[in-house]
Amino acid sequence: MTLDMLKIGNRGKITKVGGEGALRLRFLDMGLIPHTEVKMQKTAPSGDPIQILIRGYELTLRLEEASKIEIEEIE
């Protein structure tokens, strides 16, 4: 499952960070690293972008970017 598929209010743990080059480094710099827990906060009315809670701060990502982050959902 990827981050863009997570439902509002649900949590997940990052398993793999995709992307290449500068994009992957940007993800890692933002704290999107494996074994980190994330919570889906909200989405824009059109569905893009999404807002997640990670490491105590809110982060906004485009769906295209979120689709490169693999997660496993936490019950």
pLDDT in tens, 51-67: 999 999 999 999 999 99
| Residues in a beta bridge with 61 | 50
CATH fold group of domain 3-74? SH3 type barrels. (2.30.30)
Q: Which of 30, 35, 34 is nearest to 58 (CA)?
A: 30
Instruction: Report whether 67 contacts 6 (CB < 8 A).
Output: no
Mapping DSSP to helix (H, G, I), strand (E, B) and coil, where does residue 65 land?
helix
**Both structure tokens of 54:** 């990670």
Distance CA 64, CA 47 (A): 12
Does residue 19 carry a pLDDT above 90? Answer: no
- Percent of the chain past pLDDT 70, that is, above it, reads 100
